[in-house]
A and B are shown apart, each in its own frame.
Chain A
Amino acid sequence: MNTMHWLLKREFWEHRGGFFWAPLWTGAAVLALTLLGLFAGEVRMLQAGDGASNSALSMLFFSEQTPGQIEHAAKLLNGSLLGVNALFGLVMGVVLFFYLLGALYDDRRDRSVLFWKSLPVSDAGTVISKALMATVLIPFLVFGLMLVTWLLLQILFSVFVLIHGGSPWTLIWGQHSLLPMLAVMLADLPAHMLWSLLAVGWLLLCSAAVRSKPFLWAVLIPVLAGIANGWIGLMGVPNLPAWFVWREGIARMLLGMLGLYGTWGQTRSVGDGALRSGSIFGWEAAGRGLGALYASPELWIGALVGIAMIAGAVWFRRRSSEA
């Protein structure tokens, strides 16, 4: 257990830029841009006179709130939560994609694998530490930083509401959808982890197995497999349905660790209609989608295949110092 602690610490030392600073700067950028937007809105309101603007943000600038505006504010609240969430999820996905591709390859290329292998650490321990980092630790860390950013964002809104004599409690902190929404997001984290196992396994397997160019192998093999499946279909031979191969297989293999809450499960289960109508912003629909996601066999089968691929990565890692 102690060894695992140090293995995880090592990953964090090596990739602190991607794991910590990238999400931190993302948060800083969100806050800075929002502040600029609020100032711009303020200035435009002053120029145009009162009541000219009815953008989503405008209700922050009135002292009296109508029920319609409060409802509007709830949407802004959830919308900002989902927006910040999506942005952090995207940054994390990019960071993890390249982290995983290099995780068992970079040290073979610069031969420092010989140093790591001179210590009493098992190959399985090494591979598992990297998989844990990508499936559990980093999603939690990024989720935490995302929440902090979002809270700061709400504080920023509150300050603007206060300046205009409004009540931040009515508009923001007292919204009844807030806590259930956060609960649903937290409940989605394990689903994200299970969902991403396939990508984590596949990318680690490529990272451990290839002699060079892990990116090319990782992308080409699934894409060529998808094309081959389509071609078999063209010949009239029974094949797997294209939507299944591309969305459940290939997209998940390559991009499964992209996104935090809801990136995969909700849009699938709730459907595109809900996404367009905005009802996905409500926690009830999101909760239903989550339940359907946990009940879907794809989630679990993909996770098991991912675990098998991680085992494959251990096998290759053991042979990584050959020749």
Chain B
Amino acid sequence: MSAVIQAHGLRKRYRNTEALRGVDFTIESGRIVGLIGPNGAGKTTALKAILGLTEFEGRLDVLGHDPRVGRERMMRDVSFIADVAVLPRWIRVRQVVDFVAGVHPRFDRARCEAFLARTKLLQNARVRELSKGMIVQLHLALVMAIDARLLVLDEPTLGLDLLYRKQFYQSLLEDYFDEQRTILITTHQVEEIEHILSDVMFIREGSITLQSDMDSLGERYAEVMVNPEQGDAARALKPLSERSVFGRSVFLFDGVARAQLQTLGEVRRPSLADIFVASMQGSYA
């Protein structure tokens, strides 16, 4: 396995805020990585740095390129979908397929047509006539037909209904992802991507607060359902968070031995959303 992205001391300062404060991380090939953080934590800035869309300080290596120089060569191996509404509104379906086929050496037109055939998109339709969901179908068909090594998705399903969101991730997994490719996703809809992620990174106020693969996350964090009489014993183990459900308390622990927790009650694997909420407490305070 080789590193697709390596960042060392990645730093970005806007006029009066520091969006990234010397971030280090490595993303290996063949992973699906979720970059998760509250609004304004620096997610989009990090993605923009990776895509060569912003200046930054520090070292960054994306597939052997420095994104600040020779960006157009790097973009042969990198695709991205930034938000749902960025396809030009005047363009027709046929035209955008022609254009990408014309300028992208790794674009497989037949593959794109096959994806489009599964949708209700008409070749002659203009993007402005399409619904948000259909625009995403078009964008995804274009991107999945590109034989890229890194795909970056920045809130790709924002504003879509549940059906389109499910279909989006399902297509990515079934028709696109393989061990040669790497996908980096940011989204606020943590529940929906949890099951497809292989790795997760939490970002908070410009720093990476957690970087882990999903398996070790399950070993490290545990959720215990505790009866009221054992509450104090549980609190003594310094849980990350506590909430009550039907008169019982649910504690989230970070790095406490499983055997110890089992004496308190039923131990479960916490959801990514619960871990996120617990570790981001006080973000907006």
- Chain A residues packing against B (C-beta within 8 Å): 2-3, 5-7, 9-10, 13-14, 107, 110-122, 125, 319, 321-323
Contacts and interface: CB of A to CB of B under 8 A. Distances in A.
Contact of A14 (B54, B90, B98): B90
Nearest to B53: A321
A14 B126 CA distance: 11
A119 B83 contact: no
A287 B85 CA distance: 53
A321 B91 CA distance: 21
Contact of A118 (B54, B82, B88): B82
Contacts of A119: 75, 100, 103-104
Contacts of A107: 88
B89 interface: yes
Contacts of A5: 102
Interface in B28-57: 48, 51, 53-55
Interface string B56-85: 000000000000000111011001111101
Interface residues of B, number: 33
B53 A117 contact: yes
Given A9-B102, A111-B83, 14 more contacts: A2-B103, A6-B99, A6-B103, A7-B103, A107-B88, A111-B82, A111-B85, A114-B86, A116-B88, A118-B51, A118-B81, A120-B72, A122-B72, A322-B53
Contact of A322 (B51, B55, B99, B102): B55
Contact of A13 (B55, B89, B91, B105): B91
A118 B75 contact: yes
25 contacts: A3-B102, A6-B103, A9-B99, A9-B102, A10-B99, A13-B92, A13-B95, A14-B90, A107-B88, A111-B85, A111-B86, A112-B87, A114-B53, A114-B86, A115-B86, A118-B79, A119-B103, A119-B104, A120-B73, A120-B104, A121-B75, A122-B71, A125-B72, A321-B53, A323-B14
B250 to A, nearest CB: 41
Contacts of A120: 72-73, 75-76, 103-105
B103 A115 contact: no
Given A14-B90, A107-B88, A119-B75, A2 B83 contact: no
Contacts of A112: 86-89
B88 A115 contact: yes
A113 B85 CA distance: 11
A3 B107 CA distance: 13
Contact of A110 (B79, B82, B89, B100): B89
Contacts of B73: 120
A239 to B, nearest CB: 37
A109 B73 CA distance: 26
A99 B226 CA distance: 68
Contacts of B71: 122
Nearest to B80: A118
Given A112-B87, A120-B105, A321 B54 contact: yes
A99 to B, nearest CB: 13
Residue among B14, B54, B99, B100 with most chain A CB within 10 A: B99
A75 to B, nearest CB: 45
A122 B82 CA distance: 19
A306 to B, nearest CB: 25
Contacts of A117: 51, 53, 75
A9 B92 CA distance: 13
